[in-house]
Amino acid sequence: MEYFIQQLINGLTLGSIYGLIAIGYTMVYGIIGMINFAHGDIFMLGGFAGLIVYLLIMTVFGGAPIAVALLCMLIVAMAATSLWNWSIERVAYRPLRGSFRLAPLITAIGVSIALSNFIQVTQGPRNKPIPQMVNSVYTIEGISISLKQIVIVIITVALLAAFWYIVEKTPLGRAQRATEQDRKMAALLGIDVDRTISITFVMGAALAAVAGTMFLMYYGVIVFTDGFVPGVKAFTAAVLGGIGSLPGAVIGGLLIGLIESLWSAYFTIAYKDVATFAILAFVLIFKPSGLLGRPEVEKV
C-alpha cells in the first residue's frame, strides 16, 4: 500500500510535467488545428534556459537562496522560450496559414529538427548535470515525498489556476475561444486573429518552459535530445484527453504519468513506454476523440 501511494506520488509529479507541455499542444491544435511538432523542443529549450540561468546565478552572481534562484530560472526561461515560439510562429507557421494543412506540419518537424540540433551545436551534445537544487525529503508513515515534488505540484496547480482564469474570464480568453470556433467570423467581429494566435503560442511556450525548468530540477540533468520523448508523451496525453480540451490535456498528462510510474513499479520498466502507447491506442479505439474531446459528428 505504501509502495502504491509512493508510486502514485511519483506518477503525479511526472504527470504534472506532461500536463503542462500537453496544454501547449492542445491550445495550438484547438486554435489553428495544427500539430505543433516542435513543442517538445520548445520544452527542451526552456530546460536549457533554466540551466544557463542557474549557472549564471551560481558562478557569476555567487549563488542565491534556492527560492530566488528557482524564480529567476522560471521567469527567464518563460521569457526566452516565449520569444522563440513567437518568432517561430511568425517565420515558419504564419506564412503557411490557410494553405495546405500538411505544410505547417512539415515545417514544424523541420523546426523540431533544427531546434534540437541548434542546441547540440551551440551547447554541446553531452548530458548537462547540475547538483541537487532542492534536496529535503519528508517521510510520513513510510511514504517519502521530496520537496521538489511538492514544488512541482504546487507550481503546476498555481499555473493551471492562473491559466484557467485567463482562458475563461478575460477578453483574451474569449478572443481565443472565438478564434477557435470560427476564425473568419472572429476576424469580422474585430478580433485580431493573428495576435490571438501569437499569444496562444506564447502562452504554450511559457508553460513548456516551466515544465522544462522543473524537469531539470527534478532529474538534475538535461540533454539536447530531451525534447523528443517528453514531447511525444505530452502529445499522447493531449490526444488521450481529447485534443483541443484543456482539462483533457491535464487529465491526459496525469494519466500518462501514473501509467508510467505504476507500470514501471509493478511490471517491467523496459516496456513502460510500450504500455503508454498501447493504452493510448486502446482508448482511442473505444473513444475515437479522446476522453474529454467532443465527439466529431459526421454531418452529412
**By CB under 8 A, what part of segment 65-124 binds other proteins?**
76, 80, 83-84, 87, 91-92, 95-96, 99-103, 105-107, 109-115, 117-124
Q: Which of 17, 16, 20, 70 is nearest to 205 (CA)?
A: 20
With CB under 8 A as the contact rule, the residue among 17, 26, 29, 36 that binds other proteins is 29
Residue 162 or 274 with smaller CB distance to other proteins: 274
- Return the SS3 of 144: strand
Residue 11 or 50 with smaller CB distance to other proteins: 50
Amino acid at 208: A
Residue 173 or 220 with smaller CB distance to other proteins: 220
With CB under 8 A as the contact rule, the residue among 9, 23, 31, 51 that binds other proteins is 51
With CB under 8 A as the contact rule, the residue among 53, 69, 73, 205 that binds other proteins is 53
Stretch that binds other proteins, among 8-16, 41-49, 143-151, 175-183 (CB under 8 A): 41-49
Paired with 223 in beta bridges are none
Tell me the C-alpha distance between 287 and 99, whole Å: 30
Instruction: Write out the three cell numbers for 183.
Output: 476564425
Q: What is the dihedral sign for C-alpha 287, 289, 294, 295? A: negative
Residue 21 or 145 with smaller CB distance to other proteins: 21
With CB under 8 A as the contact rule, the residue among 235, 250, 253, 259 that binds other proteins is 235
Instruction: For the chain, give percent helix, strand, coil, nearest 5.
Output: 75, 5, 20
Instruction: Write out the three cell numbers for 285.
Output: 479505439
| Number of residues near other proteins (by CB under 8 A) | 72
Measured in whole angstroms, the distance separating CA 184 from the mean position of its chain's CA atoms is: 29
Residue 101 or 169 with smaller CB distance to other proteins: 101
The interface mask with other proteins, positions 237-276, x = CB under 8 A, is --x---x------------------------x-xx-xx--
The interface mask with other proteins, positions 190-229, x = CB under 8 A, is --------------------------------------x-
CA angle at 125 for the pair 124 and 131, rounded to the nearest 5°: 80
Q: Does the footprint of other proteins cover residue 1 (CB under 8 A)? A: no
| Helix or strand (DSSP H, E) at 16 | helix 2-32
| Helix or strand (DSSP H, E) at 183 | helix 183-188
- Work out how close the CB of 206 gets to other proteins at its nearest, in angstroms, rounded to a whole number: 15
Stretch that binds other proteins, among 15-23, 53-61, 137-145, 245-253 (CB under 8 A): 53-61
**Interface positions, 133-162, toward other proteins (CB under 8 A):** none
Task: Give, in order, the Cα–Cα distances in Å from 286 to each of 211, 233, 289.
Answer: 30, 20, 9
Tell me the C-alpha distance between 164 and 170, whole Å: 10
Tell me the C-alpha distance between 40 and 55, whole Å: 23
With CB under 8 A as the contact rule, the residue among 61, 154, 281, 294 that binds other proteins is 281
